[in-house]
Amino acid sequence: MSDRDDLHRVLAEWADRVRAELDIAGAPLDLDLVLGVAGVAAHAVVRPAAPVTTYLAGYAAGLAAAAGADPDAAANDALERARRLAGS
């Protein structure tokens, strides 16, 4: 198993624990997309922009889902918009 596989496994397990604790076990999560957005924000803005950007994208996705949008589509849209902004 590669380091990347180990990292992905650890993050997936951690995400499962966090979702269970927050009572959102069914929440969509594309780890690669989230990490990609965080990476762009960290390198294109400043390193602490990574958690701030992903938090705000998640918040926007939650609002969109609460308003009736498909949760997967809302998450993907918010993350892609944040990635574009950070990369510009």
Question: Distance between CA atoms of 84 and 10, rounded to whole angstroms?
Answer: 28
Gap between the Cα atoms of 55 and 40, Å rounded: 14
- pLDDT value of position 1: 64
**Measured between alpha carbons, how far is 88 from 86 in angstroms, rounded to an integer?**
6
CA angle 68, 70, 72 (to 5 degrees): 145
Structure confidence by residue, pLDDT tens digits, 17-35: 999 999 999 888 999 999 9
Query: Model's pTM, two decimal places?
Result: 0.87
Tell me: the pLDDT tens digits for 3-20?
Answer: 888 999 999 999 999 999
- How many C-beta atoms surround the C-beta of residue 61 within 10 A? 23
Phi-psi category of residue 49: left, alpha or beta, with phi > 0 → left and psi -120 to 50 → alpha: alpha
